[in-house]
Amino acid sequence: MMNDGRPFGLYIDGRFQPASTGRTIRIENPKDRSHLADVAEGDETDIDLAIDAAERAGKIWAATPGAVRGDIMHRAGELLAKELPDLVTIEVDQIGRARREMTAQLGRLPEWFRYFGAVARTHEDTVPPFGGKFLNYTRRVPLGVVGHVTPWNHPLLILTKKIAPSMAAGNTMVVKPSELAPITPLLLGDIFKEAGVPDGVYNVVPGYGATAGKALTSSKRIKKIDLTGGTETGKMVASIAGANLTKVAAELGGKAAVIMFDDTPIERGVAAALFASFIATGQTCVQGARLLVQRSVHDAVVAELVRRTNMIRIGNPQDMATQMGPLVSARQRELTERYVKIGLEEGATLAAGGKRPNGKLFENGYYHQPTIFTNVTGSMRIAQEEIFGPVVVVIPFDTEEEAIALSNGTEFGLATSIWTRDVTRAHRVAHRLESGIVWINDHHRIDPCSPWGGFKMSGIGRENGLIAYEEYTQIQNVIVNLSDEPFDWYADDGQEKRYS
Ligand code: TXE
């Protein structure tokens, strides 16, 4: 699948082709900075070509019955399942995430094609009660060509969350994947082709945000931009798209809290915190970045958390025994290091990690130890800002009220987990959280049927679930006058006129 060392082209109209710039992007392996592949670097001209292809394909795909689109998507899911081992290998090489995590994550991708394939087949429109002599019905019709701008942290999962509902709804798409991880999104092209997706429905133009990304998001021909990325990028893209009245969905930053009440068994709570905080080397929007612990168990939780954190096995991410790989890039590691410094300057206590690991294996990669700060207050920068690395801050609380205030006390509102055995408290707290996703006694769980997205500065719109499908459609309302009675508004007959 690695193209025998040749550069990967852009994927437009069902075939790989060179970029108009003639340039390529060097993709490196974050575990040792070795050269992984070169990928064509697209710009505005290529985005335009991709939109041309998508507009042509839209005429066919939008007219394809939902049941047929559903069958094709099911086939795509099956073909994807067969390719997973190779895709996992490439995904691990691109972003450095531990193979055992990537295997678990990508293993679920076919479910998105099955779920949204089924939605394409079964979605029903409505017949609102207009009353009187009218039949009134709605039709959900595709938007047209949509743009997906995706990040590097879960290259295939995040892309799949966008492709599956947009394809099911009959749209065609142009994808601008992250410049750090464009290979697996390109490879999906062949899988869709084999499944029977018409050429031009799925197009991928790798490139940089400021060039290809900007061209895509500012095109008047794009009917919806669906972006996952940083909050600053989201604001910029939304303002550009707004000028064209292009719909925007954005899944942005987060600072998820893990709220641990004192009836949670210590071992269970600590296992939960490790899972919430450190998978994906902390580079995930729903990372449990803040551990809020009830004061009576705080010291015991911290002691066990530090002990278990120091045991996390960092190493070659392709090794199934490795529990934590490197960060994705020099920039992401610098960000982590910058925040470690900020935390120390703010007076927090470094309870674990805080450095690059020692050893030959780590010399050239972007590794960083899993890190815990204690003696943190809710207003510190390390408790407020998204770090997007393997850093967790621990904050004690006394009461339920205080836990809710701390949890809600950032500009973000993506996800929160609540850990307690008390069922009434769990729901009571959940209902007061300013958080698009709430887990009770769990974290990170996702499903194609389950709406995903944030409150506040964590974004707009929702991925997953029927709402994702609906947000990739526009409603056409058809109002039928069932009466044959003559109607003449301007008849000069002195009769009272009615609208209904
Ligand atoms: O993301 P960017 P970066 C957060 C996280 C991270 C920070 C920066 O805090 O440290 O963002 O990461 C494209 N017009 N998240 O720089 O830049 C870009 O090319 C159009 C959270 O990697 O937001 C890429 O394809 N497109 C997040 C995508 O946007 C533009 C996941 C995301 O990149 C653009 C990633 C522009 N002007 C980072 N500028 C999450 N929610 O999970 C950039 N892009």
Indicate the pTM of the whole model: 0.97
Q: Which of 27, 232, 233 to mutate to test the pocket of ligand 1 (most atoms within 8 A of CB)?
A: 233
Strand 349-352 vs strand 371-374: parallel, antiparallel, or unpaired?
Answer: antiparallel
C-alpha of 188 from chain center: 17
Distances (CA, A) of 443 to 140, 197, 231, 433, 451: 34, 35, 22, 15, 15
Query: pLDDT band at residue 196, thresholds of 50, 70 and 90?
Result: very high
Residue of 472, 8, 10 whose CA lies nearest to 203: 10
20 Cβ contact list (under 8 Å, min separation 6) = 42, 43, 45, 46, 49
Q: How far is the CA of 304 from the centre of ligand 1 (A)?
A: 34
| Centre of ligand 1 from the C-alpha of residue 444, in Å | 20
Phi, psi of 79 (to 5 degrees): -65, -40
Q: Which two structure tokens, joined as six digits, stand for 387?
A: 């770090």
pLDDT computed for residue 4 by the predictor: 86
Catalytic residue among 41, 251, 337, 463: 251
- The pLDDT value given to residue 500: 64
Confidence band (pLDDT; 50, 70, 90) for 363? very high
Ligand 1, atom nearest to 158 Cα: 42
Query: What integer pLDDT is reported at residue 174 of this predicted model?
Result: 99
Which tokens sit at 492? 């000069």
DSSP alpha helix (H) spans, 43-108: 44-61, 66-95, 99-106
| pLDDT on residue 316 | 98
List CB contacts of 462: < 8 A, sequence separation 6 or more: 249, 436, 451, 452, 453, 468, 471
Say which amino acid occupies 75.
Answer: R
The full set of domain ranges for the chain reads 10-252, 257-440
Within this chain, domains 10-252 and 257-440 share the same CATH topology: no
The dihedral region occupied by 384, where left means phi > 0, alpha psi between -120 and 50, and beta the remainder, is: alpha
Residue 424 has pLDDT above 90, yes or no: yes
* Atom 39 of ligand 1, residue of closest alpha carbon: 209
Ligand 1 site residues (CB inside 6 A) read 149-153, 176, 178-179, 208-210, 213-214, 217, 228-230, 233, 236-237, 251-253, 285, 335, 386, 388
Q: How far is the CA of 360 from the centre of ligand 1 (A)?
A: 31
Task: Cite the beta strand spans of 324-440 per DSSP E.
Answer: 349-352, 371-374, 391-397, 412-413, 415-419, 437-440
Mean pLDDT on 459-470 = 98
Report the DSSP pairing between strands 224-228 and 145-149.
parallel
CATH code of the region 10-252: 3.40.605.10
* Mean pLDDT of the 109-129 span: 97
Q: Cα(384) to centroid of ligand 1, in Å? A: 19
Catalytic status, residue 44: no
Question: Alpha-carbon distance 374 to 378, whole Å?
Answer: 11
Ligand 1 centroid vs 353 CA: distance in angstroms?
26
- The closest residue, in CA terms, to atom 20 on ligand 1 is 213
| Position 395 confidence tier, pLDDT thresholds 50, 70, 90 | very high
Pairing of strands 172-176, 349-352: unpaired
Exposed, middle or buried, 250 (CB in 10 Å: 0-12/13-18/19+)? Answer: buried
Confidence bin at 498 (pLDDT 50/70/90): confident
What is the residue with the minimal CA distance to atom 18 of ligand 1? 209
Q: What is the mean pLDDT of residues 191-208?
A: 98
Question: Rounded distance, CA 382 to CA 440, Å?
Answer: 25
Contact residues for 334 (Cβ-Cβ < 8 A; gap 6+): none
Which pLDDT band holds residue 464 (cuts at 50, 70, 90)?
very high
For tokens 């099955």, what's the residue? Answer: 114
Would you state the pLDDT for residue 132?
A: 85
CB 387 within 8 A of CB 289: yes
| C-alpha span between 269 and 284 (Å, rounded) | 20
Best CA proximity match to 170, nearest among 298, 28, 68: 68
Task: Please say whether the beta carbons of 289 and 282 come within 8 A.
Answer: yes
Q: pLDDT tens-digit profile of 287-326?
A: 999 999 999 999 999 999 999 999 999 999 999 999 999 9
pLDDT at residue number 2: 83
Distance CA 45, CA 136 (A): 44
Distance separating alpha carbons of residues 145 and 136, to the nearest angstrom: 28
Query: Hey, whose CA ends up nearest to atom 10 of ligand 1?
Result: 388
Q: Whose CA is nearest to atom 8 of ligand 1?
A: 230
H/E segment holding residue 159: helix 155-168
Categorize the per-residue pLDDT at 141 as very low, low, confident or very high, splitting at 50, 70 and 90.
Answer: very high
The burial class, CB within 10 Å (0-12 / 13-18 / 19+), for 141 is middle
CB atoms within 10 A of CB 38: 16
Residue ID of nearest Cα to ligand 1 atom 15: 230
In 3D space, the residue among 88, 106, 92 whose CA is nearest the CA of residue 446 turns out to be: 106
User: Is the distance from CB of 96 to CB of 31 less than 8 angstroms?
Assistant: yes
Residue 28 β-bridge partners: 35
pLDDT at 497 over 90: no
Residue 250 Cα to ligand 1 midpoint, Å, equals 11
CA of 14 to the centre of ligand 1 (A): 27
- 360-365: long-range pairs with CB below 8 Å, 24+: 361/315, 361/316, 362/314, 362/326, 364/32, 364/33, 365/30, 365/31, 365/32, 365/33, 365/96, 365/326
Q: Pick from 426, 424, 230: which is nearest to 416 by CA?
A: 426
Contact criterion met (CB below 8 Å) for 461 and 248: yes
Sign of CA dihedral 32, 35, 39, 44: positive
CB 38 within 8 A of CB 26: yes
d(CA 151, ligand 1 centre) in Å: 6
The model's confidence at residue 367, banded by pLDDT at 50, 70 and 90, is very high
Residue nearest to atom 32 of ligand 1 (CA): 229
First and final C-alpha spacing in the chain: 63
Q: In the CATH scheme, what is the code of domain 257-440?
A: 3.40.309.10
Please name the residue whose Cα sits nearest to atom 4 of ligand 1: 230
Q: What is the pLDDT of residues 313-360, one digit of tens each?
A: 999 999 999 999 999 999 999 999 999 999 999 999 999 999 999 999
Polymer length in residues for the chain: 500
Question: What average pLDDT does range 84-94 have in this prediction?
Answer: 98
